[in-house]
């Protein structure tokens, strides 16, 4: 049920602060990173230094102690400038930071969350496997107890930022159950320096050369038993809870990309003249802009609604799935129309709209494909 929610001055100030940060520290560097294919570690650090990386986490662990509406606004503004950066921040916060904060031990919060929330470390989640995608509960990676160590063996794909990570949370089977009940979360710090961790390759993908989507083998990788996050056998539950927040983050990425596509299109339609007048004066273009503006606003409202419900302490499985599905579909539609409005220029790499189209497709696939999110929503309709 849609209920009332409000944005306060602090939320408007957050939007202004993130936009100013992006104008100074992000926008001037996006094209250089995209064309050279380099991961923007120094920009992630700058995000941390500005207090924008660990927005929802407690100040004692390096966070900003702000609410999920501020988090959503932050991610939206980062995505409006650069989706890759927003995805890095949002993924680290929701898929790694959230389970550490909610279920981790005190030392894990102090060391791992503290580094993540301040942008000093890059964090990744290794869940998906070649044979276990949407059906994540069927994954085969194992972690066996050997004295005071876990020994991890498995093969993971699409670990975003795995090859540049300082900490990877690996989801592995730790007991006799062959479904979700057997799964646990285990932290692997400094994975690239560890015996048995092999980055097989970075998967070439539509997001572009700067994106790091790693295929990783774990072969007898040993970590101390205290690297288990929370309780053994509860890892799937922790990930599902993190995904509720993660889907708010992905929805916010969708809103940011859609907003950028709309703004680029509005400006282009004003400048570009054909038949002796700006193309925005043709109804065929004007209606596209009108639909984009309307859909972006609808997606933003659903996203902020999900965030506001979470701020009220509610479980937001349905609201987050709705926001994620709607906002990423809106991003895909808006980016596609943006390319169309730009004509041949939109199809070139001279303008950013072709990138919006490529990254929007990824958002419809990760954090649960939009088909899986529709299953989540439909399951909730009778509860």
The answer to whether residues 236 and 138 touch, using CB atoms and an 8 Å cutoff, is no
CA 100 to chain centre: 17
The mark string for 261-290 relative to ligand FAD (x by CB under 6 A, - otherwise) is ------------------------------
The DSSP 8-state label assigned to residue 56 in this structure reads T
- How wide is the angle at C-alpha 319 spanned by C-alphas 95 and 292, nearest 5°? 95
Least Å distance, CB 41 to ligand FAD, is: 17
Which residues, 132 to 151, sit near ligand FAD by CB under 6 A?
A: 133-134
How far is the C-alpha of 69 from the C-alpha of 302, rounded, in Å? 11
How far is the C-alpha of 304 from the C-alpha of 54, rounded, in Å? 18
The mark string for 226-255 relative to ligand FAD (x by CB under 6 A, - otherwise) is ------------------------------
The mark string for 316-355 relative to ligand FAD (x by CB under 6 A, - otherwise) is ----------------------------------------
Quick one: 336 or 369, whose CB is closer to ligand FAD? 369
CB-neighbour burial class of residue 27 (10 A; exposed 0-12, middle 13-18, buried 19+): middle
Least Å distance, CB 125 to ligand FAD, is: 5
How far is the C-alpha of 263 from the C-alpha of 337, rounded, in Å? 12
Least Å distance, CB 282 to ligand FAD, is: 35
> Does residue 337 have an active-site annotation?
no
Compute the Cα dihedral for 169, 69, 288, 329 and give only its sign: positive
Which residues, 56 to 75, sit near ligand FAD by CB under 6 A?
A: none
User: Does 158 sit near ligand FAD (CB under 6 A)?
Assistant: yes
Tell me, by CB under 6 A, how many residues bind ligand FAD.
Answer: 20
Residue sitting closest to ligand FAD (CB): 133
How is 28-53 classified by DSSP, letter by letter? GGHHHHHHHT---HHHHHHHHHTT-S
User: Does 366 sit near ligand FAD (CB under 6 A)?
Assistant: yes
Residue 219: Cβ within 10 Å count: 13
User: Does 89 sit near ligand FAD (CB under 6 A)?
Assistant: no
How is 242-283 classified by DSSP, letter by letter? HHHHHHHHHHHHHHHHHHHHHHHHHHHHHH-EETTEEGGGSH
The answer to whether residues 115 and 48 touch, using CB atoms and an 8 Å cutoff, is no
The mark string for 111-130 relative to ligand FAD (x by CB under 6 A, - otherwise) is -------------xxxxx--
Of 215, 309, 337, 367, the active-site residue reads: 367
Least Å distance, CB 241 to ligand FAD, is: 16
Strand intervals (E) in the chain:
123-126, 142-146, 149-160, 167-173, 183-189, 197-202, 213-224, 228-229, 273-274, 277-278
Least Å distance, CB 23 to ligand FAD, is: 26
Please provide residue 11's backbone torsions phi and psi, each rounded to the nearest 5 degrees.
-75, -40
User: Does 371 sit near ligand FAD (CB under 6 A)?
Assistant: yes
User: Does 308 sit near ligand FAD (CB under 6 A)?
Assistant: no
The mark string for 194-213 relative to ligand FAD (x by CB under 6 A, - otherwise) is -------------x-----x
* Span near ligand FAD by CB under 6 A; candidates 28-36, 283-291, 343-351, 362-370: 362-370
Binding residues for ligand FAD, rule: CB under 6 A, are 91, 124-128, 133-134, 158-160, 207, 213, 362, 365-366, 369, 371-372, 375
The catalytic site residues sit at 367
């Amino acid at each position: 049920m849609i209920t009332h929610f409000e944005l306060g001055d602090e939320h408007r100030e957050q939007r202004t602060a993130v936009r100013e940060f992006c104008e100074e520290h992000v926008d001037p560097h996006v094209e250089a990173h995209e064309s050279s294919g380099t991961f923007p570690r120094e920009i992630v650090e700058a995000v941390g230094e500005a207090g924008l990386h660990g927005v929802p986490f407690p100040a004692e662990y390096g966070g900003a102690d702000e609410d999920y509406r501020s988090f959503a606004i932050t991610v939206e503004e980062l995505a409006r400038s650069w989706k890759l950066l927003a995805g890095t921040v949002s993924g680290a916060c929701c898929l790694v930071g959230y389970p550490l904060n909610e279920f981790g031990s005190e030392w894990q919060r102090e060391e791992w969350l503290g580094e993540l929330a301040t942008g000093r470390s890059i964090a990744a989640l290794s869940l998906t496997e070649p044979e276990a995608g949407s059906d994540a509960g069927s994954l085969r990676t194992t972690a066996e107890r050997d004295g005071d160590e876990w020994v991890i063996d498995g093969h993971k794909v699409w670990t975003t930022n795995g090859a540049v990570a300082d900490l990877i949370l690996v989801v592995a089977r730790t007991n006799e159950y062959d479904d979700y009940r057997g799964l646990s979360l285990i932290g692997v710090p400094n994975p690239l320096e560890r015996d048995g961790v092999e980055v097989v390759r970075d998967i070439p993908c539509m997001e572009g050369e700067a994106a790091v989507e790693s295929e990783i083998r774990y072969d007898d990788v040993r970590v101390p038993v205290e690297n288990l996050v929370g309780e053994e056998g509860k890892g799937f539950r922790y990930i599902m809870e993190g995904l509720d927040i993660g889907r708010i983050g992905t929805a916010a990425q969708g809103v940011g990309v859609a907003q950028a596509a709309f703004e680029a299109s509005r400006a282009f339609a004003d400048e570009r003249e054909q038949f002796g007048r700006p193309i925005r004066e043709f109804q065929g273009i004007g209606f596209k802009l009108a639909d984009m503006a309307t859909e972006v606003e609808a997606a933003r409202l659903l996203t902020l609604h999900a965030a506001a419900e979470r701020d009220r302490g509610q479980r937001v499985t349905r609201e987050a799935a709705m926001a994620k599905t709607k906002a990423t579909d809106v991003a895909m539609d808006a980016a596609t129309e943006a390319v169309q409005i730009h004509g041949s220029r939109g199809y070139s790499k001279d303008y950013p709209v072709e990138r919006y189209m490529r990254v929007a497709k990824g958002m419809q696939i990760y954090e649960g494909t939009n088909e899986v999110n529709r299953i989540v929503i439909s399951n909730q309709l009778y509860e």
